[in-house]
């Protein structure tokens, strides 16, 4: 059978630079580092009186959220506004698709609004890829989270937090605790940490919350949190959703807390200067103790600021890649 032509990586332009931001797999270390460096610059912008730069002035960013999220949506809005872009937010979950409109029809309508960029969030894995494949390639697609597959900006903001507070990835032990099975944050974090050279990435969960095939990520799997947290430099606690109690995954939030919750005693097992991350919103007393969440070792609130900076970096880098591709296409046309 003749094989079909291999697909060019959907999210990269002809020069290998970002034109969409869909997932972290396949992105080289240098690019992830560039995102972090660019985000650092944008952190400085956020510290000024006028928190704006004119990079995306005159451009329109459309937040297309098929799945609700106030937190992610507002940070993307803020990031776009700080780049001087115009922002529209569409909560599609409450409008057209519930009227029976197909996703592709919704996309056609959105395309007609001539936005330069869509930030999409959807309950199905692969939705961001689908949208990038079915919308004009000149519209940049940023994945704000698709099903349990990928949340690349969250992955990168966690990496920024780790780099700013703990430094060199190649010297760190990082633990990710909680519902790995259903978590797009966990998948993005594992990929980012591996690419950035972290030598000891640990996932900690009961068997019911561990997916098969974790070896492909190059991580160490633990079911005993006390063993898993020993001497780690970074602890990423994942959110446990209420629905997990149904269907036999877990007996109760209480038992989960007793076995895996991050209490002060558990934190003491880690390195004395270990930091604690959480994608939010946190369930106090379920995955994390209040005292720990509010302690100086927790960088949970900083993650919000890092989130805005990382999203500014991703938005501007992607816009830059789109512009570059437009130039390349124009040059190709001329030479014909």
Binding mask 216-235 for other proteins (x = CB under 8 A): x-------------------
Separation in Å, CA 325 to CA 29, 54, 117, 320: 22, 21, 15, 9
122 or 244, CB closer to other proteins? 122
126 or 280, CB closer to other proteins? 126
Sequence-distant (6+) residues with CB within 8 A of 317 are 17, 18, 21, 34, 35, 38
* Range 102-106, long-range pairs (CB < 8 A, 24+ positions): 103/130, 103/131, 104/134
Residue among 20, 121, 129, 163 that touches other proteins (CB under 8 A) = 129
Q: Rounded to the nearest whole angstrom, what is the least distance from the CB of residue 212 to other proteins in the complex?
A: 6
21 or 130, CB closer to other proteins? 130
Please list the residues that pair with 166 across neighbouring strands: none
- The H-or-E segment that residue 317 falls in is helix 300-335
Q: 3-class DSSP state for residue 130?
A: helix
Phi-psi region of 280 (alpha: psi -120 to 50; beta: other; left: phi over 0): left
Please tell me whether residue 285 binds other proteins under the rule CB under 8 A. Answer: no
Please tell me whether residue 93 binds other proteins under the rule CB under 8 A. Answer: no
Alpha-carbon span 35 to 314, nearest angstrom: 7
Alpha-carbon span 321 to 336, nearest angstrom: 23
150 or 195, CB closer to other proteins? 150
Binding mask 159-178 for other proteins (x = CB under 8 A): --------------------
Residue among 14, 37, 231, 294 that touches other proteins (CB under 8 A) = 37
211 or 285, CB closer to other proteins? 211
- Please give the torsion angle defined by the CA atoms of residues 11, 13, 15 and 17, in that order, rounded to the nearest 10 degrees: -50
Binding mask 298-317 for other proteins (x = CB under 8 A): ------------------xx
Q: Which of the residues 190 through 219 are near other proteins (CB under 8 A)?
A: 211-214, 216
Residue that is written with structure tokens 């799997």 in the block: 221
Residue among 101, 126, 223, 263 that touches other proteins (CB under 8 A) = 126
4 or 112, CB closer to other proteins? 4
Q: Which of the residues 16 through 35 are near other proteins (CB under 8 A)?
A: 17, 25, 34
Please tell me whether residue 52 binds other proteins under the rule CB under 8 A. Answer: yes
Please tell me whether residue 336 binds other proteins under the rule CB under 8 A. Answer: no
Please tell me whether residue 327 binds other proteins under the rule CB under 8 A. Answer: yes
Q: Are 274 and 234 spatial neighbours (Cβ–Cβ below 8 Å)?
A: yes
Residue among 21, 76, 77, 122 that touches other proteins (CB under 8 A) = 122
What would you report as the CA-atom Rg of the chain, rounded to the nearest whole angstrom?
20
Alpha-carbon span 46 to 53, nearest angstrom: 10
Alpha-carbon span 302 to 333, nearest angstrom: 47
Q: Rounded to the nearest whole angstrom, what is the least distance from the CB of residue 7 to other proteins in the complex?
A: 6
Chain contacts with other proteins (rule: CB under 8 A): 1-2, 4, 7, 17, 25, 34, 37-38, 40-41, 43-45, 48-50, 52-55, 102-104, 122, 124-127, 129-130, 134, 146-150, 184, 187, 211-214, 216, 316-317, 319-321, 323-324, 327
């Amino acid at each position: 059978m003749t094989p079909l032509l291999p697909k060019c990586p959907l999210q990269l332009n002809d020069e290998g630079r970002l034109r969409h931001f869909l997932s972290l797999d396949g992105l080289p270390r240098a690019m992830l580092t560039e995102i972090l460096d660019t985000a650092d610059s944008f952190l400085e912008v956020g510290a000024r009186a006028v928190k704006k730069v004119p990079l995306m002035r005159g451009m329109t960013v459309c937040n297309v959220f098929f799945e609700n999220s106030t937190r992610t949506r507002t940070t993307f809005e803020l990031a776009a506004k700080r780049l001087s872009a115009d922002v529209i937010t569409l909560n599609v979950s409450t409008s057209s698709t519930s009227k029976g409109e197909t996703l592709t029809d919704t996309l056609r309508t959105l395309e007609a609004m001539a936005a330069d960029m869509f930030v999409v969030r959807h309950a199905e894995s692969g939705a961001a890829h689908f949208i990038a494949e079915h919308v004009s390639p000149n519209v940049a697609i940023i994945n704000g989270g698709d099903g349990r597959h990928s949340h690349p900006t969250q992955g990168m903001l966690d990496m920024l937090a780790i780099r700013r507070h703990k430094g060199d990835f190649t010297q760190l032990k990082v633990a990710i605790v909680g519902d790995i099975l259903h978590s797009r944050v966990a998948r993005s974090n594992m990929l980012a940490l591996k690419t950035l050279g972290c030598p000891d990435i640990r996932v900690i969960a009961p068997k019911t919350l561990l997916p098969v095939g974790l070896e492909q990520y190059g991580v160490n799997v633990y079911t005993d949190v006390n063993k898993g947290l020993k001497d780690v430099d970074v602890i990423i606690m994942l959110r446990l959703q209420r629905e997990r109690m149904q269907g036999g995954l877990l007996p109760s939030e209480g038992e989960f807390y007793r076995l895996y919750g991050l209490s002060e005693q558990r934190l003491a097992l880690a390195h004395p200067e270990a930091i604690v991350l959480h994608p939010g919103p946190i369930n106090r007393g379920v995955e994390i103790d209040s005292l720990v969440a509010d302690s100086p070792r927790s960088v949970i609130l900083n993650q919000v600021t890092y989130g805005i900076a990382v999203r500014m970096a991703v938005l501007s880098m992607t816009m830059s890649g789109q512009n570059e591709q437009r130039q390349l296409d124009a040059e190709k046309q001329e030479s014909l």
